[in-house]
Structure 1
Amino acid sequence: MAGRHGAPSHARGTRNTQGARNGRNAGFAVLGIIGEILMTLAALCALYIAWQMWWTGVISEQTQIQTRETVAWSDPVAAGSSTKVAQAQQGDAPVQPESAADGDLVAQLYIPRFGTNWQRNIVEGISGEQLAKHGLGHYPTSQMPGQVGNFAIAGHRGGYGEPLAYVDQLQEGDPIIIRTQDYWYVYRYTTYKITVPTDVAVVSADPFNAGGTPTKRYITLTTCEPRYSPTPASKRWISWGELEYWAKVSDGVPKELATTDSSGQVKFTAQESPSVFAKVGSLDGVVAWLLVAYAVVYLAALVAWRYPLLRAIRDGERRRPDASFYGWIDRRQPGPMPVRLLLMMILIVAASAALFQWVFPWMAANIPMFQQMSAYVSVE
């Protein structure tokens, strides 16, 4: 039976059904693209957090190793060999260094509670540059190691190697060991305090009697509280210790950093052990090599297989796929599925390395929201 306008009713129904189906397909395509955008943003956020909390620490470790290599400090013991326990010295401790310029290596810090091989540099100054790249910073207004008064240092608690991440795990009596060019200073942890950033008395010469004449040798560690917080953090975690004894580096290592094996040989437990990633250096070369590898695999697959997925779609062997950004990239990779997956993986790793090397540092240094969140300082 013809419809009112002469068109068969079943034809109109078919067109209506097809139109509805096309509308649904278009709607699903838009939702799919939105989903891809959201997943991409989520992945970028995860990568940014990884860069902030992990890779900045790798960069800091690299910088600290380079700094130690530029000074003429003797190793307490040759790698793998035995040493001896340095004799504990009482009496007045020598002061070293007597002065330092901004950025100079002042000392190294060892805290066995944080790990057997745990060590960090201490440089002069507490600017964002020093704390972001060089480990820990010495308050220029405070005393030097061994000096009567307060040797006060600051460090990050999250990101940039998070040197003071675990100050809340320190226990009374734990050793806090400072090594300068020629001396060891062994402090013992005593107590802590959570305070506000304006409480500058905590780094005064006598932190327990601000303005008074100091009679003891203190060490103070200052960091943010809570550990994960926006910048600037609302509180400070302050840890204190007192000097127990000092020793000469030429005499060996403190007993707190030594173990004795069954044969009676003394070993230095805190010898430098760089992480695998700290040996990588800049990611510029990594990105370049990944792109070279991608080009080689891509050209080889192109010669051997061309574009089988695009050909199958063109020949009607596979249905035409829905709109998809990542699908579009995948279809333009040559070779069978395993080869295309390999090529996609190389691209993903190269893109991630490029984000770590250039994009995230730029964002953290130039975009106000990320500046405040990361406390990043670009140091070349």
Structure 2
Amino acid sequence: MTESATVASPEHPEAPPPDRRRVRSALRVVGELLITAGLVLLLFVFYAVYVTDWSTARKQAEATDQLQTRWEQPAPAAPPPPPSTGEGFAQLYLPEFGPDFRFAVLEGTDGETLSAGPGHYVGTAWPGEQGNFAVAGHRIGKGAPFNDLDKLDSCDPIVVETATRWYVYRVLPMADEVAGWNGHGGDQRCQGVAPIGGPYEQVHGQRIVLPTQGEVIHPVPGQPVDLLPPDQRTRLITLTTCHPEFSAEQRLIVHGVLTTEYPKDPAHPELRPAELEER
């Protein structure tokens, strides 16, 4: 009698070999771990982007209210003391990002201060002062004030408001614009903007550096702190943030030069620089 092959019925399938069962179990475990890791990553992104934004918005609103309250008080007879760590002392506007882009600038760049808004590097120049007024800000989460910093172009305004004055800085020419710089064809917005030259020859509108290159906030960016005496320094602003997005591997740097300043009129506090309307 010829032996026939055995065919497993759907009701009673043959059990897979032990090796195959182990492979299936391992794949199932790996799949579950990947799903769990994906959920954890999504929760982290949600926290970093949204939860911290809400917390920062509250802290930033408080800092702005406190700043405005101080500015509304009568001017003191003597100059006020320097701001303490975490205290707001100026307002920063980037008109290119719309009329709602306004942040109180706080003193210091520690983690707690930057969780409330852009922070001034202690020891760098003050707004309008000869030297380098340097400000750091987050790019992702915690309000992300500098999320779009890479979109700034040469001649774009960076406006800083203090208790008594408005300062208008403009982004310097980019490295690839220096050789043939013509002010964007004579664009009115580029008045006062040009490659600086001399010890500032390598100071351009935008650059990417390593986190260890702290010299970008020096009075002459990239040069020793004491290269020039204070009265020979150009009035600059430097904005710094992490690069690329969701990474702290590098730093994105934007340099601008002071082109205009306006005194505030206490009798007409509603008057604002026309540069705030530029887009």
1:249–1:113 Cα change, 3 Å: farther
Q: Which residue of 2 aligns with 1:124?
A: 107
Measured after TM superposition, the shift of residue 207 of structure 1 is 2.2
Q: Which residue of 2 aligns with 1:109?
A: 92
The separation in 2 between residues aligned to 1:54 and 1:224, in whole angstroms, is 18
2:169 aligned with 1:182: no
Q: Which runs of 5+ in 1 are unaligned?
A: 1-12, 22-27, 76-95, 260-268, 270-380
Contact 2:134 2:217 in 1 (8 A): yes
Equivalences for residues 1-380 of structure 1 within 5 A: 17=12, 38-71=34-67, 72-73=69-70, 99-131=82-114, 133-190=115-172, 191-207=205-221, 210=224, 211-213=227-229, 214-229=232-247, 231=248, 233=249, 235-247=250-262, 248=264, 250=266, 251=268, 252-258=271-277
The separation in 2 between residues aligned to 1:208 and 1:33, in whole angstroms, is 52
Measured after TM superposition, the shift of residue 238 of structure 1 is 1.4
The separation in 2 between residues aligned to 1:226 and 1:249, in whole angstroms, is 41
Contact 2:94 2:158 in 1 (8 A): yes
Match of 1:202, SS state, is helix
1:249–1:102 Cα change, 3 Å: farther
1:241–1:143 Cα change, 3 Å: same
The separation in 1 between residues aligned to 2:216 and 2:110, in whole angstroms, is 18
List per-residue Cα deviations over 1:123-166 (Å, max 9, x = no partner). Answer: 111111111x2111101110111211111111122221221122
1:42–1:172 Cα change, 3 Å: same
Q: Which runs of 5+ in 2 are unaligned?
A: 1-7, 17-23, 73-78, 173-204
Contact 1:97 1:180 in 2 (8 A): no
- What is the TM-score of this pair, normalised by structure 1? 0.51
Measured after TM superposition, the shift of residue 246 of structure 1 is 1.7
Measured after TM superposition, the shift of residue 220 of structure 1 is 0.7
Q: Tell me the C-alpha RMSD between the 2 structures.
A: 3.4
The separation in 1 between residues aligned to 2:221 and 2:152, in whole angstroms, is 19
Q: How many residues align?
A: 222
Measured after TM superposition, the shift of residue 111 of structure 1 is 0.3
Measured after TM superposition, the shift of residue 20 of structure 1 is 5.8
Measured after TM superposition, the shift of residue 228 of structure 1 is 2.5
State the structure with more CA Rg. Answer: 1
Measured after TM superposition, the shift of residue 174 of structure 1 is 0.5
Letter in 2 for 1:142: T
Match of 1:17, SS state, is coil
Larger CA deviation: 136-145 vs 189-198: 189-198
The separation in 2 between residues aligned to 1:195 and 1:31, in whole angstroms, is 43
Measured after TM superposition, the shift of residue 240 of structure 1 is 0.8
